[in-house]
Structure 1
Amino acid sequence: MSVSFENYLVVGISSRALFNLEKENEVFEKEGLDAYREYQIVHENDVLSPGSGFGLVKNLLNINKLAKRKLVEVIVMSRNSADTSLRIIHSLEHYDMDIGRMVLSGGEDISRYLSAFGVDLFLSCNENDVSNAIHAGFAAGMIYARDTKYNFPDHQIRIAFDADAVLFSAESEKIYQEHGLEAFTENEILNQDVALKKGPMASLLKSLSWLQNETKDLNVLRTAIVTARNKDTGVRVIKTLRAWNIVVDEVFFMQGAKKADVLACFGANIFFDDQDVHALPASDVVPSARVPYREGEM
């Protein structure tokens, strides 16, 4: 009997986003595939350390335990071959992670398999796979692989988003880039009653809203928008969310101030932004992913 993923939040994550595989990746890049394969087989029984996406996945899977029913499905989607995957499997068992499904593409682009599993979010350290996923209409982020040990509550998931070119299209941001702040502000105030178009992460926010509703008595999930917009240009954001019938728990209109400090206080399990200038500093304090999206890709 086949399984449907329609009633789950489905997260696909690469092995390098889930575990710390930076040393192994260095072997691959410097010495090639054969050396990488030999290294993984020699270290097959060595447990991998948690990677940047580990805490998010752990907390997501914990929802199933708290709800006493399956609401979240996590799938490891790796460019590894079957022959080099046993270390990943052993590590999953070590951490008692309820992950049974894996995609082992043997070096091929992972994005082609996202539709087969109905993936709502794809996280990877491979920019090409992430860009292809976004181009195909999937919410995806290129997570920064860091050795940082992040500290956040293990009883609640907190997910933060930038606004333009992440939750919403890049249409307004393009005005800012081409014509400056004054033109951007004028456009947003003039069009505050016109809902912004959906961006690459809009579908994920909708799925998270569904998950919040399914677990409202458990209080296991909070969402936030952390945007460089100010309060005046933020009115359009609020009205757009209202038009989408989605409630975001916390919103921060930063007016260009540094986002990392707010994200640390919020305790984000992950933060999505389309620009390195914001996402990279944020990755020092919370797991962060860049959304390599520009208008016209979707």
Structure 2
Amino acid sequence: MQTPRPQKLVIAISSRALFDLAESHQVFESEGLQAYSEYQIANEDNILAPGEAFGMVKKFLRINERLDTQRVEVILLSRNSADTGLRVFNSINHYGLDITRAAFTGGSSPYRYILPFNAHLFLSTDADDVAHALEHGVAAATLMTTSKPASENEQLRFAFDGDAVIFSDEAEQVYKAQGLAAFAQSERDAAKTPLSGGPFKSFLAALHGLQDEFKGQECPIRTALVTARSAPAHERVIRTLRAWNIRIDESLFLGGLSKGAFLKAYGADVFFDDQQINCESASGHVATGHVPHGIANRPALVGSNGEKSELNTDNQQNHS
């Protein structure tokens, strides 16, 4: 009986995340769709500069060369039409990226094609498309602009926040409703009870499975948990990953310290976090994806006194 072939790990990415389309997008914003189409066709032989996710994609596709089989795939999802998208494919060919599948949706949201392509992760610069993907159970993040160059490390290094990214936001809900002391006590009480999975659990599991194929040799993928949790809230996280049988290579429990310098030291190719304030800080150091999931991304409730029921954002980094 033959061993079944492992499932491919698939990343779906928007054209604006893969390439720098800021100039042509400005044409669209200022002059409209027709002018944008004419601009792209007139410049279709002018190669686009790399975008926020270009370095990550390039490293990701090299994994197939290491394994001598197609175990990973990148799918292009674009709001361009096929006609205006020709410039994107010309740029893909110029850089030698092995990307052959694409959906050009002519202005409509491409998120509906994520599931048919069996994508584990969707990266885009469009927050609405990302939100739709998350609603349909796909790990997704909105890539933020950074002026920092991509990591020169040959390894592909992913970094993840914990609550509302790898894990559910159940602990964060306690913090939001009752404060830090209640959160810490709740996590102590539930230390041996695994957390539920968050939107990136399946993607992390798929990465872990791919890493296992490099046993006995240097792995081209490295993962890190970078969380503002600290002791004693660390134990539940460790036991949860153990219960899931998922290994993370590095775990940083920062106790509320700003994450940016640690992400730079780690050499992250991309970092995923649900808190906008953390993403803005991290994007000054590494490519960063905002995951608009969980209680931190819900509209604040207004109480009977007319005040918003949310906590001071200066304290929000003490657990997530």
Separation in 2 of the partners of 1:80 and 1:146? 24
Please report the RMSD computed on the Cα atoms of aligned residues, expressed in angstroms. 1.6
**One-letter code aligned to 1:160:** A
Contact kept in structure 2, 1:20 and 1:145, CA below 8 Å:
no
Mean CA deviation greater in 209-218 or 50-59: 209-218
Separation in 1 of the partners of 2:49 and 2:262? 27
Separation in 2 of the partners of 1:83 and 1:220? 36
Mean CA deviation greater in 213-222 or 273-282: 213-222
Question: SS where residue 115 of structure 1 aligns?
Answer: coil
Contact kept in structure 2, 1:51 and 1:146, CA below 8 Å:
no
**One-letter code aligned to 1:163:** G
**One-letter code aligned to 1:89:** F
Residue 271 of structure 2 corresponds to residue 274 of structure 1: no
Match of residue 209 from structure 1: 208
Contact kept in structure 2, 1:51 and 1:147, CA below 8 Å:
no
Mean CA deviation greater in 119-128 or 36-45: 36-45
Structure with larger Rg: 2
Judged with a 3 Å threshold, the aligned counterparts in structure 2 of structure 1 residues 268 and 78 are, in CA distance, closer, same or farther, namely same
Q: What displacement does 1:24 show?
A: 1.4
Separation in 2 of the partners of 1:229 and 1:40? 47
Q: What displacement does 1:151 show?
A: 3.0
The size of the alignment, in residue pairs, is: 292
Separation in 1 of the partners of 2:259 and 2:268? 12
Match of residue 294 from structure 2: 294
Contact kept in structure 1, 2:263 and 2:282, CA below 8 Å:
yes
Contact kept in structure 1, 2:80 and 2:107, CA below 8 Å:
yes
**One-letter code aligned to 1:79:** R
Contact kept in structure 2, 1:60 and 1:72, CA below 8 Å:
yes
Post-superposition Cα deviations, 1:59-101, rounded to whole Å, max 9, x if no partner, equal 0000111111111111111111111101101100110001111
Judged with a 3 Å threshold, the aligned counterparts in structure 2 of structure 1 residues 203 and 183 are, in CA distance, closer, same or farther, namely same
Separation in 1 of the partners of 2:76 and 2:234? 37
Separation in 2 of the partners of 1:266 and 1:152? 12
* Structure 1 runs of 4+ with >4 Å offset: none
Separation in 1 of the partners of 2:273 and 2:292? 9
Match of residue 107 from structure 1: 107
Match of residue 18 from structure 1: 18
Q: What displacement does 1:58 show?
A: 0.2
Contact kept in structure 1, 2:13 and 2:76, CA below 8 Å:
yes
Match of residue 69 from structure 1: 69
Question: SS where residue 109 of structure 1 aligns?
Answer: coil
Separation in 2 of the partners of 1:43 and 1:76? 20
**One-letter code aligned to 1:262:** F
Q: What displacement does 1:290 show?
A: 0.3
Separation in 2 of the partners of 1:100 and 1:162? 31
Q: What displacement does 1:6 show?
A: 6.4
Task: Give unpaired runs (5+ residues) of structure 2.
Answer: 298-320
Q: What displacement does 1:167 show?
A: 0.4
Match of residue 228 from structure 2: 228
Question: SS where residue 38 of structure 1 aligns?
Answer: helix
TM-score (norm 1): 0.95
Match of residue 168 from structure 1: 167
Separation in 2 of the partners of 1:189 and 1:27? 54
**One-letter code aligned to 1:188:** E
User: For 1:60-209, what aligned pairs fall within 5 Å after superposition?
Assistant: 60-153=60-153, 155-209=154-208
Separation in 1 of the partners of 2:83 and 2:19? 18
Post-superposition Cα deviations, 1:212-238, rounded to whole Å, max 9, x if no partner, equal 011232311110000010021011000
Q: What displacement does 1:148 show?
A: 3.4
Mean CA deviation greater in 41-50 or 142-151: 142-151
**One-letter code aligned to 1:159:** F
Post-superposition Cα deviations, 1:119-150, rounded to whole Å, max 9, x if no partner, equal 00100001111000000000111111334322
Task: Give unpaired runs (5+ residues) of structure 1.
Answer: none
TM-score (norm 2): 0.88
Separation in 1 of the partners of 2:219 and 2:181? 40
Question: SS where residue 12 of structure 1 aligns?
Answer: strand
Question: SS where residue 218 of structure 1 aligns?
Answer: coil
Contact kept in structure 1, 2:13 and 2:75, CA below 8 Å:
yes
